[in-house]
């Protein structure tokens, strides 16, 4: 099993490398502490599994997953994160992650999850699996149309009208900072890098 | 009885006619008057105590001297009308009209008189008759409420509508404005809004009561008396309340004191009014005294308001300036009407309702500005709160991310180190791993409690079951876990969820640390209003030496107490913990109960 790890915490990254290399059938090919380096280097490597943290300094782990999955669909991606909220979990799975393990699992659980993934499984921490199942039970699966929250949709609709952040903030009675963070979320969810692209994708998906 | 539709038709026709032309009316002049005792008959007029005197300008005759009947007479001018009538405005209280010494018209209705209705008495088209009017009353004021006119019947109606239509329109406008404000205010509950609404309704009552046109409306005459009385009782109280809410109470709280004084007097007036309505008439002196007090306090309060608000206006307060524009105008217009009614100044009609309109518009503008200011303030607060919440969420996320990584790192370093030492020396490293794991559970339960969107009983119960298996099974304890959730139970709030988990965790950790139990039974029942948690073990029970009593009870009971719940520990045979916590009502979910043993 040939693994690359993307994790911004250098100490944890080092520990993970040592821990996983201690396993006979796991080979840690490369480690990266940011997304940019991973995008630049991984294509030249022969990697089966990518272990990705979500909170990276330059690019979100979800966006990184999306990019790799688009270009290299054969690579299995396992998210390794502290986040377990429904929005993040679904965004990661939608972006193409095949496994989701929360930080804080025991070393044994992590190693078993990697083996499971290698064997074609889709391992998830119990809490994540329950999130997914309960979302199905409660029919809270975010569809393409309701990928964005109502507030995010409202922000996007105002942006479409050509309004500035300040004008949007005033119209929706929120602060410009909040508008900014909504925009960031929208870009992340729609995997877009600018206003035009976000609007285009939202229209294609029938969100607005 | 004329049906309402027909009546409305007549009013509209007369209205249209009145707009199209002007009818000729004459004010009767050259009046003479004399006083009579109440029961004295008209026949005694030649042996009366006083002779006929020419009436000065107004119809309020001087020299009453305890008499209760006023006689007024004049000769009608030669006429050229088709259907002539003498138009007599309201009188207090009863009325008799004689034409050339013959009783032609009589009005003595104690209910109808409360609306001070007008009267139309047909006269000969040729004119020249001697008109004699007798007014009987035991009121302090006796006489006519306006001027006696002669003209065609239709002409009178036309000019009445022309004179009063604007006033009637304003009255209904005030009524609607007040009513709508009351409806709108159910949302924001600002006292100033209530005060404004009731004040404007009171002004509406006053304005409508003083129209002659009201007699054409299908409303019982007595009702107008109650409308007028209520308006009188409420108008100053509500104005003072409005001023207090918008401009403060001033030095020595005098606006507040005036408000309470007026409120007490108005309440007395109200009691007298209600007593009268149910047939328990209050003594006349009490009614008169209350009425005088209300009027006296009206003037005093008005002066204080003018001083208080005038001072604020002088200091640059825009709202105060607005009120100082409306209120003096209303006072000036009302004074002009009073002088006109007393024939001291010339004029054709009353204009007090225009003053009321300016005043109401100034009050409404003040209220709108206040609403805009409050809204602006709320917007600022909401933006600030949102900003704070966003910052806190970001800080928490960062904290979570940072501590989560550190804990995971500790866990993995302990594992890496354990691989390198002999099996017998791994205990401290395993303890480090255990602590790191516990730290992660703690962080996760905290973060879950913050994310109320995904919070539900199923997840909480699953976490509890998992925690029981992680904590108790490694110590050889058997666990029976039973949970049941009733249908339509609301999801737990973050705080409730966190506290249930903490209480549960503490109880389980204490079992591990302080008992030698072999079997633990856990039961959690979620009902629509409460969570019930029961944990039992088969250990030796509570004792002063095993530490249960001091640590366990205090921490857990304090948590339950903070949430308005109750926790009890018993320990005669094993330890039993029972905890009941109330559930705040939010969104309902549907769940069913289940029971299972946690496999070892």
Across A129-133, B2-6, B401-405, B563-567, which has the greatest mean pLDDT?
B563-567
pLDDT, residue B126, reads 84
Tens digit of each residue's pLDDT (9 = 90 or more) over B519-573: 999 999 988 888 999 999 988 877 655 555 555 677 788 888 888 899 988 887 7
Beta strand B530-537 pairing with B25-27: unpaired
Q: Which of A5, A6, A15, A108 to mutate to test the interface with B (most CBs of B within 10 A)?
A: A15
Instruction: Report the alpha-carbon distance of residue B117 to residue B71 in Å, rounded.
Output: 19
Residues from chain B that touch A9, judged by Cβ atoms under 8 A, are 405, 409
pLDDT of residue B267: 93
How many residues appear in chain A?
208
Does the pLDDT at position B41 exceed 80? no
Q: How far is CA B360 from the centre of its chain?
A: 18
Contact across the interface for A175 and B386, Cβ inside 8 Å? yes
Strands (E), chain A: 2-6, 27-32, 49-52, 76-81, 99-102
Is the ipTM beyond the 0.90 threshold? no
* Cα–Cα distance for residue pair B414/B429, rounded to 1 Å: 5
pLDDT at B217: 79
- What pLDDT is attached to residue B266? 93
CB atoms within 10 A of CB B71: 23
How many other β-carbons are positioned within 10 Å of the β-carbon of residue B118?
A: 17
* Cβ pair A131:B451 closer than 8 A: no
Partners of B454 on chain A (C-beta within 8 Å) are 85-86, 131, 134
For every residue of A89-114, DSSP letters joined together read HHHHHHHT-SEEEETT--HHHHHHHH
Residue B137 pLDDT class (50, 70, 90 cuts): confident
**Any chain A CB within 8 A of the CB of B380?**
no
Residues of A in contact with B387 (CB under 8 A): 175, 177-178
Q: Are B141 and B91 in contact (CB under 8 A)?
A: no
What is the arithmetic mean of pLDDT over B244-255? 89
Contact predicate B358/B351, CB 8 Å: no
B20's CB contacts (< 8 A; 6+ apart) are: none
CB-based contact, B452 to chain A, within 8 Å: no
Are A174 and B400 within 8 A, CB to CB?
Answer: no
Q: Higher pLDDT residue, A92 or B283?
A: A92
Answer whether A130 sits within 8 Å of B407, measured CB to CB. Answer: no
pLDDT digits (tens, 9 = 90+) for B208-246: 888 888 888 777 777 888 888 899 999 999 999 999 999
pLDDT in the model for residue B589: 38
Q: Count Cβ neighbours within 10 Å for each residue of B264-300 and write b for 16 or more, e otherwise.
A: ebbebbeebbeeeeeeeebeeeebeebbebbeebbee
Lowest average pLDDT, out of A92-106, A136-150, A189-203, B125-139, goes to A136-150
Average pLDDT of the residues of chain B: 82
User: pLDDT tens digits for B64-90?
Assistant: 776 778 888 999 988 778 889 999 887
Segment of B239-243, B388-392, B511-515 carrying the highest mean pLDDT: B239-243
* B415 and A CB contact within 8 Å: yes
Distance CA B595, CA B480 (A): 8
Q: Any chain A CB within 8 A of the CB of B459?
A: yes
How far apart, in whole angstroms, are the C-alpha atoms of residue B503 and residue B61? Answer: 89
Are A7 and A53 spatial neighbours (Cβ–Cβ below 8 Å)? yes
The CA-based angle B400-B402-B406, given to 5 degrees, is 110
The whole-angstrom separation of Cα A121 and Cα B324 is 80
pLDDT at A109 over 60: yes
- Over range A13-25, report the average pLDDT: 91
What contacts A55, CB < 8 A, 6 or more positions away? A8, A61, A81, A82, A83, B397, B401
Give one DSSP letter per residue of B195-262, joined into a string.
Answer: HHHHHHHHHHHHHHHT-SGGGGSSS-HHHHHHHHHHHHHHHHHHHHHHHHHHH---GGGHHHHHHHHH
Q: Could you tell me the pLDDT band of residue B5, with boundaries at 50, 70 and 90?
A: low
Contact B414, B432 (CB under 8 A): yes
Q: Pick B408's closest partner by Cβ from A84, A86, A103.
A: A103
User: What gap in Å lies between CA A176 and CA A164, rounded to an integer?
Assistant: 9
Cβ–Cβ below 8 Å for B416 and A85: no
- The predicted structure's pLDDT at residue B197: 93
Identify the sign of the CA torsion B158, B162, B166, B171.
negative
- Look at residue B18 and tell me whether its pLDDT is greater than 60: no
User: How far is A109 from B16, CA to CA, in rounded Å?
Assistant: 92
Q: Do residues B110 and B160 lie in contact, with contact meaning Cβ atoms separated by under 8 Å? A: no
Which residues partner with B581 through β-bridges? B531
Find the closest chain A residue to B438 by CA distance: A104
Cα separation, B69 vs B93, whole angstroms: 10
Nearest-CA neighbor of A92 among A66, A68, A110?
A66
Q: Which residues of A touch B436 (CB under 8 A)?
A: 104
Nearest residue on chain B to A54, alpha-carbon basis:
B401
C-beta atoms of B411 and A106 within 8 A: yes
* Chain B positions in Cβ-Cβ contact with residue A155 (cut-off 8 Å): none
Please state, in angstroms and rounded to a whole number, the distance separating the CA atoms of residues B411 and B428: 12
| DSSP symbol at B160 | H
- The answer for A92, left when phi > 0, alpha when psi is -120 to 50, beta otherwise, is alpha
Rounded CA-CA distance A132/A98 in Å is 13
B596 at A interface, C-beta within 8 A:
no
Q: A118 to chain B nearest CA, in Å?
A: 21
Nearest-10 Cα torsion for B287, B288, B292, B295 = 60
- pTM for this predicted structure: 0.57
Residues 6 or more apart whose Cβ sits within 8 Å of residue A74: none
Mean of the per-residue pLDDT values for chain A?
86
pLDDT exceeds cutoff 70 at A98:
yes
Cα–Cα nearest to B257, from B305, B292, B295: B305
Distance in Å, alpha carbon of B504 to nearest chain A alpha carbon: 18
């Amino acid at each position: 099993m040939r693994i690359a790890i993307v994790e911004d915490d250098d100490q944890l990254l080092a520990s993970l490398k040592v821990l996983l290399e201690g396993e006979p059938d796991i080979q840690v090919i490369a480690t990266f502490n940011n997304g940019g380096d991973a995008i630049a280097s991984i294509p030249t490597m022969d990697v089966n599994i990518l272990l990705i943290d979500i909170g990276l300094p330059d690019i979100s782990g979800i966006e990184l997953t999306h990019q790799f999955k688009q270009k290299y669909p054969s690579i299995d991606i396992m998210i390794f994160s502290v986040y377990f909220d429904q929005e993040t979990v679904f965004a990661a799975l939608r972006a193409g992650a095949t496994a989701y393990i929360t930080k804080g699992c025991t070393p044994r659980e992590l190693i078993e999850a990697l083996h499971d993934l290698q064997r074609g499984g889709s391992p998830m921490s119990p809490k994540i699996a329950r999130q997914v199942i309960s979302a199905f039970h409660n029919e809270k699966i975010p569809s393409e149309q309701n990928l964005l929250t109502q507030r995010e949709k409202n922000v996007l609709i105002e942006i479409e009208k050509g309004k500035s952040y300040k004008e949007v903030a005033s119209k929706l009675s929120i602060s410009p900072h909040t508008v900014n963070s909504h925009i960031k979320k929208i870009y992340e969810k729609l995997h877009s890098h600018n206003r035009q692209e976000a609007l285009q994708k939202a229209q294609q998906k029938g969100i607005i | 009885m004329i049906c309402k539709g027909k009546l409305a038709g007549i009013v509209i026709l007369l209205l249209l006619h009145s707009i199209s032309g002007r009818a000729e009316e004459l004010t009767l002049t050259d009046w003479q008057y004399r006083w009579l005792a109440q029961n004295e008959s008209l026949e005694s007029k030649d042996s009366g105590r006083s002779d006929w005197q020419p009436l000065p300008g107004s119809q309020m005759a001087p020299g009453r001297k305890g008499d209760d009947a006023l006689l007024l007479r004049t000769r009608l001018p030669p006429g050229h009308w088709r259907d002539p009538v003498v138009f007599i405005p309201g009188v207090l209280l009863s009325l008799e009209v004689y034409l050339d010494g013959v009783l032609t018209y009589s009005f003595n209705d104690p209910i109808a008189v409360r609306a001070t209705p007008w009267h139309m008495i047909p006269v000969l088209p040729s004119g020249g008759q001697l008109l004699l009017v007798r007014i009987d009353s035991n009121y302090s004021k006796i006489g006519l409420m306006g001027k006696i006119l002669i003209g065609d019947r239709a002409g009178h109606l036309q000019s009445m509508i022309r004179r009063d239509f604007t006033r009637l329109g304003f009255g209904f406008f005030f009524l609607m404005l007040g009513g709508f404000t009351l409806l709108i205010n159910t949302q924001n509950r600002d006292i100033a809004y209530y005060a404004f609404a009731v004040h404007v309704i009171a002004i509406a009552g006053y304005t409508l009561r003083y129209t002659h046109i009201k007699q054409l409306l299908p409303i019982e005459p007595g009702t107008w008396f109650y409308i007028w009385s209520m308006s009188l009782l409420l108008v100053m109280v509500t104005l003072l309340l409005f001023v207090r809410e918008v401009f403060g109470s001033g030095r020595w709280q005098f606006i507040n004191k005036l408000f309470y004084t007026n409120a007490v007097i108005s309440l007395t007036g109200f009691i007298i009014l209600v007593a009268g309505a149910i047939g328990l008439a209050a003594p006349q002196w009490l009614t008169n005294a209350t009425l005088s007090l209300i009027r006296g306090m009206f003037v005093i309060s008005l002066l204080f308001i003018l001083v208080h608000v005038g001072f604020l206006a002088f200091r640059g307060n825009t709202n105060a300036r607005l009120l100082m524009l409306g209120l003096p105008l209303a006072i000036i217009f009302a004074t002009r009407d009073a002088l006109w009614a007393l024939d001291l100044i010339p004029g054709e009609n009353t204009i007090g309702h225009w003053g009321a309109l300016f005043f109401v518009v100034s009050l409404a503008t003040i209220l709108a500005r206040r609403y805009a200011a409050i809204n602006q303030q709320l917007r600022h607060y909401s933006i600030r709160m949102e900003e704070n919440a966003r910052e806190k969420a970001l800080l928490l996320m960062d904290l979570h991310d940072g501590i989560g990584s550190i804990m995971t790192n500790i866990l993995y370093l302990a594992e890496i180190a354990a691989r390198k030492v002999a099996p017998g020396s791994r205990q401290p490293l395993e303890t480090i791993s255990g602590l790191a794991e516990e730290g992660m559970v703690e962080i996760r339960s905290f973060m879950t409690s913050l994310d109320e969107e995904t919070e539900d009983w199923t997840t909480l119960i699953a976490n509890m079951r998992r925690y029981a298996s992680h904590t108790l099974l490694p110590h050889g304890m058997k666990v029976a876990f039973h949970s049941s959730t009733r249908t339509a139970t609301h999801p737990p709030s973050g705080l409730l969820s966190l506290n249930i988990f903490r209480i549960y965790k503490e109880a389980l950790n204490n079992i591990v640390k302080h008992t030698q139990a072999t079997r633990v039974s856990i039961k959690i029942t979620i009902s629509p209003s409460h969570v019930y948690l029961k944990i039992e073990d088969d250990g030796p029970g509570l004792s002063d030496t095993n530490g249960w009593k001091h640590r366990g009870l205090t921490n857990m009971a304090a948590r339950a107490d903070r949430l308005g719940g109750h926790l009890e520990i018993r320990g005669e045979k094993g330890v039993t913990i029972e905890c009941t916590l109330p559930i705040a009502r939010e969104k309902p979910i549907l769940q069913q109960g289940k029971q299972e043993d946690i496999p070892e």
